[in-house]
Structure 1
Amino acid sequence: MTSIGTGYDLANSIFSPDGRNFQVEYAVKAVENGGTSIGIRCKDGVVLAVEKIVTSKLLKPGANKRIATVDRHLGVVYSGMVPDGRHFVDRARDESRSWRDTFKTPIPTADLANRMGSYLQAYTLYQSVRPFGITAIVGGFDSELELPVDGEVGSGPSCGAGGKDTSKKHGGPFLYMIEPSGLYWGYYGAATGKGRQAAKAELEKLDLSGEGISLEEAVKEAARIIYVAHDDSKDKEFELEMSWISGADGPTKGKHQEVPKALREEAERLARKAVADEDSDEEEEAKEGEKMEE
């Protein structure tokens, strides 16, 4: 990299002459070394999934969670440096609680993404800190119902809280990905970590922006995509962790929860079968190619 020996990568607060912040670019490299994380936004909810590489046989299965609940309706998954991710989650919970204290309602997903994007961006400005070594995927389901305001007395205006137009549809599923620079976008499908390219290619094949897929289909697709993305690190064992969020009339009743064990195991079984079928098809194609060459 051109920065070596120039000194432009020694301090977080310095731009190189061509307008780059090398410390942020190094943080992105740290993310690319982490396990793959994905998020899928479908018509009736959001699914988050992460590939947890098993670094020791002594680790307890099911412990060391990498998907965290920020508020009842919000979840976060991240790739990169795990301690940085845990601090990100703690700060996100603080922001969520601060919003409830001020506005007496749950924080909308977009506002949490905005606040956390600003927080990460602040860590690219000062010499005394370094950028976060994570990319985080934030998923949430903003309630479509008229929720009671925390501590409310009386019924409020007849047209709804704050004059909300009851003839329009409010809320719904949302998915954001926040990068080490503080940049964030809204997505239908997002992937980060080591297997992001393979995962992104698979996500692009799904119909997420049109009629979309159901939440249960999204769970099965998420498992398959993590298994496909893991193909590059076949020699390493991994554990799949998944969570989902639906609307008030869906399976999670508007809350961020772990995917039930039975559904997760079924999704993993189908994912392993799909990957095995794909491998056997590739082997057959390779043999046919060899015969044609002969």
Structure 2
Amino acid sequence: MTSIGTGYDLANSIFSPDGRNFQVEYAVKAVENGGTSIGIRCKDGVVLAVEKVITSKLLKSGANKRIATVDRHLGVVYSGMIPDGRHFVDRARDEARSWRDNFKTPIPTADLASRMGGYLQAYTLYQSVRPFGITAIVGGFDSELELPVDGQVGTGPSCGAGGKAQDKKHGGPFLYMIEPSGMYWGYYGAATGKGRQAAKAELEKLDLGGEGITLEQAVKEAARIIHEAHDDNKDKEYELEMSWISGKEGVTRGRHEEVPKKLVEEALRLAKEKDDEDDEEEKKDDDKMDED
């Protein structure tokens, strides 16, 4: 990179003459070296999944979680530097608890994304710190119901919470991706990490912005996409970690929970079968071309 030796890449608080912050760009490179993470927003919830590359046979299966619960209805998955991700989760939990203390209700997904985007952006401003080496995907299901206020005594106004129109739908599933620069966007499907390009290509094939897919379908698609994105690391084994969030009437009753092990194993089995079928078809095509 042309910046090396110029000094513009040595400090976090200095822009280069062409308006770039090289420390943020280096943080993005750290993210691209991490395992693939994806989030899928369905019509009835959100699915989060991550590829955990097994770097040692001594690692305990199921430990070293990369998906975390922030509040009952909120989950986070991240790619990049794991210690940075754990600090991100701790701060997100502080923000969720602070919101409950102040407003006596669960924090909306959009407000958590906004607060954490601001927090990551603050780490791009000062020479004494460095940017976070992660990209985080935040998924949540904001309750569409009138929830009681924490610690409420007596009854509230009969019209319900202020600002809610009776003829409009409120709440629902939300998905945000927050980058090291602090920039965040709302997504139907998001991917980050080493296999992000392959994962994005597969996510774009799904009907997420139209009719949408169900949580159960999203679990199978997430396993398939992670398995395909793992192609670049085929010489290494990986572990699939997955969680989901539904509404009050759904399978998780509005809570962020791990997807049951049996469902994950079945989804992985289907993904591997599909991969084997594709490999066989490619082999047949190659044989046919050789014969011709």
TM-score class normalised by the smaller sequence? over 0.9
1:97 paired residue number: 97
Mean alpha-carbon deviation: is it higher for 277-286 or for 182-191?
A: 277-286
AA paired with 2:267?
A
AA paired with 2:261?
K
Structure 2 CA distance for aligned equivalents of residues 166 and 258 of structure 1: 34
User: How much has 1:164 moved relative to structure 2?
Assistant: 2.7
2:223 paired residue number: 223
User: How much has 1:201 moved relative to structure 2?
Assistant: 0.4
Structure 1 CA distance for aligned equivalents of residues 116 and 131 of structure 2: 13
AA paired with 1:99?
W
2:233 paired residue number: 233
1:6 paired residue number: 6
1:260-285 CA distances to partner (integer Å, 9 max, x unpaired)?
11111111111111111111112222
Q: Percent identity?
A: 83
Contact 1:159 1:165 in 2 (8 A): no
User: How much has 1:163 moved relative to structure 2?
Assistant: 5.2
1:161 paired residue number: 161
Counterpart secondary structure, 1:29: helix
User: How much has 1:4 moved relative to structure 2?
Assistant: 1.1
1:58-104 CA distances to partner (integer Å, 9 max, x unpaired)?
10000110000000000000000000000000000000000000000
2:259 paired residue number: 259
Stretches of structure 2 lacking an aligned partner (at least 5 in a row): none
1:115 paired residue number: 115
Contact 1:95 1:115 in 2 (8 A): yes
Q: State the TM-score, normalizing by the size of structure 2.
A: 0.99
Counterpart secondary structure, 1:230: helix
- Judged with a 3 Å threshold, the aligned counterparts in structure 2 of structure 1 residues 191 and 7 are, in CA distance, closer, same or farther, namely same
Contact 1:99 1:106 in 2 (8 A): yes
AA paired with 1:9?
D
In the TM superposition, 1:1-294 aligns within 5 A as: 1-162=1-162, 164-292=164-292
Structure 2 CA distance for aligned equivalents of residues 214 and 154 of structure 1: 38
- State the number of aligned residues: 292
User: How much has 1:159 moved relative to structure 2?
Assistant: 1.1
Structure 1 CA distance for aligned equivalents of residues 54 and 257 of structure 2: 23
Contact 1:54 1:238 in 2 (8 A): yes
Contact 1:159 1:166 in 2 (8 A): no
Q: State the TM-score, normalizing by the size of structure 1.
A: 0.98
Structure 1 CA distance for aligned equivalents of residues 96 and 89 of structure 2: 10
Mean alpha-carbon deviation: is it higher for 172-181 or for 147-156?
A: 147-156
AA paired with 1:266?
E
Q: Which runs of 4+ in 1 moved over 6 A?
A: none
Stretches of structure 1 lacking an aligned partner (at least 5 in a row): none
